[in-house]
Structure 1
Amino acid sequence: MPGRVKKRSPLKAPERPYIAIGLEGSANKLGVGLIKHSPDGSVDVLSNVRHTYITPPGEGFLPRDTAQHHREWALTIINDALRKAGESLHDVDCICFTKGPGMGAPLVSVALVARTLSLLYNKPLVGVNHCVGHIEMGREITGAQNPVVLYVSGGNTQVIAYSQQCYRIFGETLDIAVGNCLDRFARVINLSNDPSPGYNIEQEAKKGKRLLPLPYTTKGMDISLSGILTSTEAYTTDKRFRPNGPSAEDGDDIITPQDLCFSLQEHVFAMLVEITERAMAHIGSREVLIVGGVGCNERLQEMMGVMASERGGKVFATDERYCIDNGIMIAQAGLLSYRMGYQTPLAKSTCTQRFRTDQVHVAWRA
């Protein structure tokens, strides 16, 4: 039987350096980054600047207020990114922006900035799928070749694998995303939003001592998280719950916020590991790449690492510079598209809140 022929990537090394600027603003983080692709095949991150809109404890961020934050900070963040990169907008080859998915008003605000820069400097626009941006930056930073991708963030939860120039969705949440689930519970127990509610949930979970029973809902390759959120919230009305921790008179049968954070994380992450393992078995991959803001969670990386090692595999993940929404991931995915000849006409530089990962033609991969 003849051996399998390894397909070459259709993306060849550039004949000259290419530079792209990326603008990301699909949620409460405004990010701008510049990236360079060189003829020797190297990829250099020239700058990666970000500013986060943070609300008071117990409050989420509204689209209108988030969009206003992005408009107020856009010029400052762009200038800071250009200064750190040592480049000007005259030097870039294309201006990349997040087309979707995300929150409508913030997306539109950043797209408007990108269109303005395109007209002022006569540079082509490239609209980028937010999810594909996470994947391509993760692949570039970690060196993962053909992984099963677990994409977990505030607005998205998907298990993805590449096939025939498309990122196919194997499984996803049927209701709310894992980041949204964690953030909403953080608001229930009044955790700070600085630096993020999910990060503060993670820190509280490390102090938890009791694993409380919660719904575990996997449906084939999909998961449901609304039920486990409701059940976890219900514990806060239990007579055993102590919002400020145990007192001297309390016995052992009490429930603390730390116990709830620990229990919620353990159940949700176990569900994610299960559906990721199924995808690995299906495609025969031994690599897992975790991307998205929740991908920074060390406990999730640890649990996924145990599963992968039992299968003789490996987990790839990045730190908060690239896991959390950023402009450089938009620049990377946009520049890959641009080098394959793709541009977004000004008349079509609109935003799509429900821009699916599997709607993108991944022309730069074999």
Structure 2
Amino acid sequence: MVIIVGFEGSANKFGVGVIKDGEILSNPRDTYISPPGTGFRPPDAARHHRNVALRILKEALTEAKVKVSEIDAICYTKGPGMGAPLVSTAVVARAIAQLWKKPLLGVNHCVGHIEMGRLVTKADNPTILYVSGGNTQVVAYSKQCYRIFGETLDIAIGSCLDRFARVIKISNDPSPGYNIEQFAKKGKKFIMLPYVIKGMDMSFSGILSHVTKLAKTKMGSEEEMAQFKNDLCYSLQETLFAMLVEVTERALAHTGSTEVLIVGGVGCNIRLQKMMEAMCEERGARLCAMDDRYCIDNGAMIAQAGLCAFNAGVRDKLSDCSITQRFRTDEVDVIWRIDYKRIKAGVI
């Protein structure tokens, strides 16, 4: 029996999760929310993380009914993410690990999302769409590495949605993307927007510029403007998600996988899940999707990825337990996974 405590704080959410041999014992988190029409500043998010860290840790341990003596290791988000929040989270994790005399492991945030998705959905060897505020990637496993088949060339899809929410003054509570989803449900007219796919990569900055210009130049009555806002949210979602589905479908065809796993905060969008599900049905594949408990940044995903690494024998020196804002998904040695193609070929 191995028990891992994971700390996540790469952006505006701070979470602590406790995992015991793949069972989620607890997963509380707290979100820093900025006023409507604004984004959040990394120093403010870092201050929030420091203020709530001990409370969230206590909640996690109390809910999990775990004693300090039973914990095998502490894990934290090493990157990618925003510098100040990452540092605050790493400092808390380092302090706790030394205070409790436990091994400390740095975890890749993206791999944390993937391993959480595989755990919750029971996905075997899926093609993965990772969509969040800071990342947009289409990923598949091969030869002990999560390889990137396609990604954003500029801003992430979550960042695109968040920035547009600021333009039209949508609330950040509980999140800009969620509120755009609700406005989109009331959209009646599809407005043509740029559709930018280059090979297997996507670009969102031009779409954001175009839809921002439309939002700022439209004139009309209060009722007309309200409906126009709904139509823009609807059109933006449809365009962005169609791009994601197209690239994911190409990767699915290339890998020969029969599963698509959606992870990351944007992944809990119901419209995205329905569009992806329609594609999967046409290809005889299964959609593996989750709700906001596991899609949105959380401590349990870091604990689960840490558990995989810990069981595979990974141990980090305290001096190596720093942070990095740029830590690509394909830089991680995924030594805990089996290479399915090599097994089929009879190599292993």
What is the one-letter code of the residue matched to 1:24? E
Corresponding residue for residue 208 of structure 1: 187
Candidates 216, 224, 234, aligned match of 1:246: 224
Alpha-carbon separation, structure 2, partners of 1:341 and 1:49: 28
Residue 255 of structure 1: how far off its partner (Å)? 6.1
1:63 aligned residue (23, 42, 47): 42
Helix, strand or coil at the partner of 2:224: coil
8 Å CA contact 1:240, 1:255 repeated in 2: no
Give 1:240 deviation, angstroms. Answer: 4.4
Which among 276, 286, 291 is matched to residue 319 of structure 1? Answer: 291
Give 2:255's aligned residue. 283
Q: CA RMSD in A?
A: 1.1
Cα-to-partner distance string for 1:274-316 (whole Å, 9 max, x where unaligned): 0000001111112100000000000000000111111111111
Task: Tell me the SS of whatever aligns to 2:20.
Answer: strand
Q: Distance in 1 between matches of 2:147 and 2:80?
A: 16
1:77 correspondence with 2:49: no
Q: Alignment partner for residue 5 of structure 2, among 13, 21, 34?
A: 21
Preserved CA contact (<8 Å) 1:241 1:256: no
Asked whether the 8 Å contact 1:241–1:255 carries over to 2, the reply is no
1:206, 1:185 → 2: CA distance? 16
Pick aligned residue for 1:346 from 304, 318, 321:
318
CA displacement at 1:341 relative to structure 2: 1.0
Is 1:33 the equivalent of 2:17?
A: yes
Cα shift readout 1:222-262 (whole Å, capped 9, x = no counterpart): 000000001111111334455x4328xxxxxx961000000
Q: Which amino acid aligns with 2:109?
A: H
More deviation, 342-351/147-156: 342-351
Equivalence for 2:127: 148
Distance 2:332 2:45 in 1: 27
Q: Is the 8 A contact 2:187 2:227 kept in 1?
A: no
Q: Distance in 2 between matches of 1:168 and 1:193?
A: 33
Structure 1: gaps (5+ residues): 1-16, 38-42, 248-253
Match of 2:154 in 1: 175
Amino acid of the structure 2 residue aligned with 1:20: I
d(CA) in 2 for partners of 1:307, 1:332: 29
Distance (whole Å) between structure 1 residues aligned to residue 98 and residue 117 of structure 2: 31
SS at structure 2 position matched to 1:246 = helix
Question: For the residues of structure 2 that align with 1:343 and 1:230, how far apart are their CA atoms?
Answer: 45
CA contact (8 A) 2:8 2:302 kept: yes
Instruction: Please give the secondary structure, in 2, of the residue aligned with 1:212.
Output: coil
> CA separation of 1:136/1:239 partners in 2, compared to 1, >3 Å: closer, same or farther?
closer
Report if the CA contact (8 A) 1:245-1:257 is conserved: no
Structure with max Cα Rg: 1
Contact 2:18–2:25 under 8 Å retained in 1: yes
Compare the two structures and name the one with the higher helix fraction: 2
Q: Does 1:161 align with 2:143?
A: no
2:335 is aligned to 363
| AA aligned opposite 2:11 | A
Seq. identity, %: 63
Task: Quote the residue 1:7 is aligned against.
Answer: none
CA distance in 1, matches of 2:216, 2:173: 26
The answer to whether the Cα contact below 8 Å between 1:50 and 1:327 also exists between their aligned partners in 2 is yes
Deviation at 1:44, TM superposition (A): 1.3
- Does the residue aligned with 2:128 lie in a helix, a strand or coil? strand
1:274 pairs with 243, 246, 265, which one? 246
How many corresponding residue pairs? 338
Give per-residue Cα distances to partners, 1:6-65, cap 9 Å, x unaligned: xxxxxxxxxxx100000000000000010001xxxxx21110000000010011111100
**Residue segments in structure 2 that go unaligned for 5+ positions in a row:** 339-348
Question: Matched residues in 1 for 2:36 and 2:131: separation?
Answer: 23
Q: Distance in 1 between matches of 2:156 and 2:77?
A: 19
Q: Aligned equivalents of 2:78 and 2:117: distance in 1?
A: 19
Q: Normalized against structure 1, the TM-score is what?
A: 0.91
Task: Tell me whether 138-147 or 230-239 shows the greater mean CA deviation.
Answer: 230-239
On the 8 A contact 1:204/1:262 being kept in 2, the answer is: yes
Does 2:25 match 1:51? no
Which secondary structure state, in structure 2, belongs to the residue aligned with residue 90 of structure 1?
helix
